[in-house]
Amino acid sequence: MKENYSAEGIDTIDLQLLNILHENSNHTTKELAKMVNLSPSPVFERVKRLEKNGYIKKYIAILDAEKLNQGFTVFCNIRLKQHDRNIGNEFVKDILAIDEIIECYNISGDYDFLLKVTVRDMKHYQDFVFNKLGSVTSIGSTHSMFVMAEMKNTYGAAIRM
């Protein structure tokens, strides 16, 4: 196994565990132990250490947006009206309170932020833009891109071994 990482304090077994848990965090300690050829006790301790040291942030269930009637995904570029601390902080506070926005990134380039938005359909997105995004006073302009199909989503950091 090639060691292509720079994380201190973890070894290839830890990377194997992270990779396995990244694919499916529902494995028991006993199953994990069998997969990495260790007994359950050291595997349990390793996983606890990886959690404590922040390599594992949390365990979640990946929900099917289509089945929950939120399958229309839009990436929305945001340009702020002005660039100062108060406007930036106000924008972030407002964005955190909007449920349809599931991801928000501060980016470089022509825009200041990139939002990932999930809604029911185009009509719902139009309502979202006018009534929710439109109420965020720190926004100067927006540019929306509509997802036609998702080709890849690894749900977090990829493990490269």
Lowest mean pLDDT among 75-79, 81-85, 135-139, 156-160: 156-160
Residue 125, pLDDT score: 97
Q: Is the pTM of this model over 0.75?
A: yes
The DSSP result for 76-119, as a single string, is EEEEESS-SHHHHHHHHHHHHT-TTEEEEEE--SS-SEEEEEEE
Per-residue pLDDT band for 1 (boundaries 50, 70, 90) equals very low
Multiple choice CATH, 12-52, 3.40.50.2300, 1.10.150.530, 1.10.10.10, 3.20.20.70: 1.10.10.10
Please write the tens of the pLDDT for every residue from 51-67.
999 999 999 999 999 99
Per-residue pLDDT band for 7 (boundaries 50, 70, 90) equals low
Topology (CATH level 3) of domain 72-146: Alpha-Beta Plaits (3.30.70)
Query: How do the domains of the chain map onto residue ranges?
Result: 12-52, 72-146
